[in-house]
């Protein structure tokens, strides 16, 4: 497969003419949607989901289908049976890609703020997008999409998460609020200038593609 990074938390996985779109939110340009065969949404926050944009895509392409949690599906009520509700432990096939679901809840931003539902997706047993949670799947993860920066995260927790998952490779997502200085600082802490963790870490620029 090829993985292309788009704005913030959004990636596209491509295999020949199949394109699996994950978490295209408000910081994602429309070109990420081009040719999308199926859509996965981890949770309802605006940097991962724009309901009106999803509705428009479903109207424009009768073959497009969506897999997501129950809270997101409720926001898309009326979109019809092409919106599929999934939860932890489920498996399904989207646009020919085998997907398993891991995790249930978003990370805590603050104890006084509500915690929303969040599901992570492991695609083809190869690429894991956890959404906004530090879910550790009970299976091997060759490529982890690491939420590198968020209102709910601490760098120490992310380092421990990398240690727990022990992926062969980590690619940064959820980094749209960082400037170049912040990107460089985190790269150092996840790498040679940090306390150490087993997984090579890198960041793709928006529009950049890697083989996974």
Range of the domain at 197: 2-211
Percent of the chain residues topping a pLDDT of 70 = 100
The pLDDT tens digits for 20-52 are 999 999 999 999 999 999 999 999 999 999 999
pLDDT band at 7 (very low <50, low <70, confident <90, very high): confident
Average pLDDT score over residue span 136-156: 97
Mean of the per-residue pLDDT values for the chain?
97
Per-residue model confidence (pLDDT) at position 111 = 96
DSSP states of 55-118: HHHHHH-TT--EEE-HHHHHHTTTS-TTEEE--TT-EEEETTEEEEEE--BPPPS-TTSPPPB-
Per-residue model confidence (pLDDT) at position 39 = 98
**CATH number of the domain enclosing 109:** 3.60.15.10
Per-residue model confidence (pLDDT) at position 22 = 98
Q: Is the pLDDT of residue 158 over 90?
A: yes
Q: What is the pTM of this model?
A: 0.97
What does the block give as tokens for 114? Answer: 């509500």
The pLDDT tens digits for 59-87 are 999 999 999 999 999 999 989 999 999 99
- Count of domains for the chain: 1
């Amino acid at each position: 497969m090829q993985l292309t990074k788009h704005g913030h938390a959004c990636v596209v996985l491509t295999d020949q003419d199949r394109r699996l779109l994950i978490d295209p939110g408000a910081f994602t340009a429309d070109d990420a949607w081009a040719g999308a065969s199926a859509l996965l949404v981890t949770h309802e926050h605006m940097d991962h989901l724009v309901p009106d944009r999803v509705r428009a895509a479903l109207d424009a392409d009768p073959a497009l289908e969506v897999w997501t949690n129950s809270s997101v599906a409720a926001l898309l009520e009326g979109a019809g049976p092409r919106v599929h509700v999934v939860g932890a432990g489920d498996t399904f096939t989207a646009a020919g890609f085998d997907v398993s679901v891991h995790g249930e809840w978003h990370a805590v931003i603050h104890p006084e703020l509500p915690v929303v539902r969040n599901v992570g997706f492991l695609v083809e047993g190869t690429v894991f997008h956890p959404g906004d949670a530090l879910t550790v799947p009970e299976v091997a993860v060759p490529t982890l999409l690491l939420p590198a920066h968020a209102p709910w995260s601490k760098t120490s927790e992310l380092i421990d998460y990398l240690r727990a998952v022990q992926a062969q490779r980590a690619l940064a997502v959820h980094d749209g609020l960082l400037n170049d200085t912040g990107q460089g600082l985190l790269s150092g802490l996840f790498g040679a200038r940090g306390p150490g963790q087993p997984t090579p870490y890198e960041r793709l620029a928006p529009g950049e593609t890697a083989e996974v």
